């Protein structure tokens, strides 16, 4: 066979060649740029003591933004889920109407006439004056993102409900939230950073942040279960600071081939295994502090993002925002924890199924959303994502372990600890979501008929499709694919 006949015609061939050469050159330049950019952890907004947490609580916004801070204080514990028909929730509803009417005076103008209320009109304030201060910008994101979730999820069904069509997020929230989010490089919606990293104050202000010295400020449900859920995520994140140190030590070793370095790497991998086991225990510990029923019925609905009802769901519209249909608006998830991503990158877990590894992905694995973890990075503060980008072009511990027999077992042990963590996490997620999706929201009304009506209501809320994560994904398929991708990183087959 004449191979030259199989080649494209010469001009096409050269154009392919040059394009390929250019893309290789371009990606090398990108990598070199990232490595040259290696800066102190501070430049990535990472603290040596508190990791991705800011070492101090975020300061309150200046008085020009006082209406936002006040609205958040007013919402805390005083609004109920729009779907909730319990007596307690119904009592809170009139307050919810007036709270939302302040934010979106135009839309709730009928109420103004009805109740003869003079409602102050909320402007769409610009966040530009805050952009020179990182902590104030983060605070603006935090306050506005909480307000959006309170606004959307407290809206009851009924004539004023827009849940059959898209949910409107008023411009007074949507415009500034999108503006500050673009500045910070994260999604304009409630994220893991808003619920955990930025949502705390120290119990003892004279002491530094620690797992024991942290109290969560905002909750949707007002329950201790919700605080404990954030607490578990925070504990995992703080325990993960040691992971960041281990990674940093590895990347800063002058050489990874001499005996002293190899024995340090081996010890650090063993330490890493211990940290992963601790995080596993922390995740499992939610079982004793956060009631699955309360989580599923009273807490989780507040976390739903615009895609929670699946691809055919009604979605949200951010009024007054350019390119609103392309915004990232999934709900918060610990899948947005930068510590867990750093760990995955360090151990080279191939969530996107790009590597040829054993055992081959099952058909269910192939069906999963392989872009999930990468997409979750868009829900992280931009500086944290930059740090993860840097890690992904740094030295590879998996390649080193593959080439160094003394490191194979320590590396595999760390991988297997992470696989076991994901096994336990799947069990937790199944108990808290899959099992509870078949339960009855018992606290809402005591009689069986009311329970049945609740059940019908619940089915409506959940939709009839597969059980989904807050990110709108088919839950068990997604989590098992992550677990199986982890197993595939193991060197010993």
Stretch in the footprint of ligand HEM (CB under 6 A) among 244-252, 283-291, 313-321, 402-410: 283-291
- Taking the CA atoms of 44, 391, 178 and 214 in sequence, report the sign of the dihedral they define: negative
- CA distance linking residue 469 with residue 293, whole number of Å: 16
Shortest distance, CB of residue 469 to ligand HEM, whole angstroms?
A: 2
- CA distance linking residue 464 with residue 460, whole number of Å: 7
**Residue 380 near ligand HEM by CB under 6 A:** no
Nearer to ligand HEM, 139 or 385 (CB): 385
Which of 244, 334, 342, 489 lies at the binding interface for ligand HEM (CB under 6 A)? 334
Per-residue x/- mask for ligand HEM, residues 429 to 468, rule CB under 6 A? x--xx-----------------------------------
**Residue 335 near ligand HEM by CB under 6 A:** yes
Binding residues with ligand HEM: total (CB under 6 A) = 27
Stretch in the footprint of ligand HEM (CB under 6 A) among 157-165, 193-201, 231-239, 353-361: 231-239
Shortest distance, CB of residue 3 to ligand HEM, whole angstroms?
A: 46
**Residue 230 near ligand HEM by CB under 6 A:** no
Shortest distance, CB of residue 110 to ligand HEM, whole angstroms?
A: 36
Nearer to ligand HEM, 65 or 229 (CB): 229
Which of 191, 195, 233, 280 lies at the binding interface for ligand HEM (CB under 6 A)? 233
- Taking the CA atoms of 384, 390, 395 and 401 in sequence, report the sign of the dihedral they define: positive
Nearer to ligand HEM, 74 or 348 (CB): 348
**Residue 51 near ligand HEM by CB under 6 A:** no
Residues numbered 293 to 322 that lie near ligand HEM (CB under 6 A) are 295
Per-residue x/- mask for ligand HEM, residues 395 to 434, rule CB under 6 A? ---------------------------x--x--xx--xx-
Stretch in the footprint of ligand HEM (CB under 6 A) among 105-113, 129-137, 229-237, 377-385: 229-237
Contact criterion met (CB below 8 Å) for 287 and 281: no
Which of 46, 184, 247, 286 lies at the binding interface for ligand HEM (CB under 6 A)? 286
Shortest distance, CB of residue 222 to ligand HEM, whole angstroms?
A: 18
Closest Cα to residue 140, out of 175, 105, 169, 100?
Answer: 175
**Residue 190 near ligand HEM by CB under 6 A:** no
User: Is 425 marked as binding a ligand?
Assistant: yes
**Residue 290 near ligand HEM by CB under 6 A:** yes
**Residue 475 near ligand HEM by CB under 6 A:** yes
For binding to ligand HEM (CB under 6 A), which residues are involved? 229, 232-233, 236, 283, 286, 290, 295, 333-335, 337, 340, 422, 425, 428-429, 432-433, 469-471, 473, 475, 478-479, 482
């Amino acid at each position: 066979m004449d191979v030259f006949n199989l080649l494209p015609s010469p001009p096409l061939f050269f154009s392919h060649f040059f394009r390929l050469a250019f893309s290789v050159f371009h990606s090398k330049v990108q990598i070199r740029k990232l490595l040259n950019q290696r800066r102190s952890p501070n430049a990535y907004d990472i603290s040596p003591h508190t990791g991705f947490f800011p070492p101090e609580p975020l300061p309150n916004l200046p008085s020009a933004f006082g209406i936002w801070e006040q609205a958040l204080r007013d919402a805390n514990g005083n609004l109920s889920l729009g779907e909730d028909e319990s007596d307690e929730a119904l009592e809170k509803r009139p307050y919810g109407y007036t709270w939302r009417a302040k934010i979106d005076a135009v839309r709730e103008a009928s109420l103004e006439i009805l109740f003869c209320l003079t409602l102050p009109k909320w402007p769409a304030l610009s966040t530009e004056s805050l952009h020179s201060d990182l902590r104030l910008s983060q605070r603006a994101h935090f306050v506005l993102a909480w307000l959006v979730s309170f606004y959307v999820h407290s809206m009851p069904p009924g004539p004023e409900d827009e849940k059959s069509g898209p949910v409107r997020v008023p411009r007074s929230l949507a415009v500034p939230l999108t503006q500050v989010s673009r500045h910070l490089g994260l999604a304009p919606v409630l994220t893991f950073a808003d619920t955990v990293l930025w949502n705390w104050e120290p119990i003892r202000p004279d002491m530094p942040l620690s797992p024991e010295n942290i109290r969560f400020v905002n909750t949707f449900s007002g329950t201790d279960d919700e605080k404990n859920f954030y607490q578990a995520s925070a504990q995992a994140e703080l325990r993960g600071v040691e992971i960041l140190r281990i990674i940093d030590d590895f990347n800063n070793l002058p050489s990874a081939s001499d005996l002293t370095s190899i024995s340090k790497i081996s010890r650090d991998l063993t330490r890493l295994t211990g940290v992963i086991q601790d995080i596993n225990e922390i995740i499992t510990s939610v079982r004793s502090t956060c009631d699955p029923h309360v989580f599923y019925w009273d807490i989780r609905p507040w976390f739903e993002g615009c895609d929670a009802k699946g691809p055919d769901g009604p979605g949200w519209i951010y009024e007054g925002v350019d390119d609103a249909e392309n915004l990232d608006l999934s709900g918060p998830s610990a899948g947005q924890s930068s510590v867990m991503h750093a760990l995955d990158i360090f151990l080279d877990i191939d969530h996107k199924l790009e590597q040829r590894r054993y055992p081959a992905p099952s058909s269910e694995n192939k069906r999963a959303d392989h872009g999930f973890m990468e997409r979750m990075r868009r829900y992280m503060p931009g500086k944290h994502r930059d740090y993860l980008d840097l890690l992904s072009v740094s030295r590879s511990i998996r390649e080193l372990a593959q080439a160094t027999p003394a490191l194979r077992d320590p590396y595999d042990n760390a991988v297997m600890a992470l696989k076991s963590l994901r096994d336990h996490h799947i069990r937790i997620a199944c108990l808290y979501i899959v099992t509870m999706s078949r339960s009855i929201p018992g606290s809402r009304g005591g009689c069986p008929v009311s329970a049945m009506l609740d059940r019908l209501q619940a089915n409506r809320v959940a939709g009839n499709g597969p059980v989904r994560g807050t990110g709108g994904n088919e839950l068990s398929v997604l989590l098992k694919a992550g677990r199986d991708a982890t197993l595939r990183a193991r060197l010993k087959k």
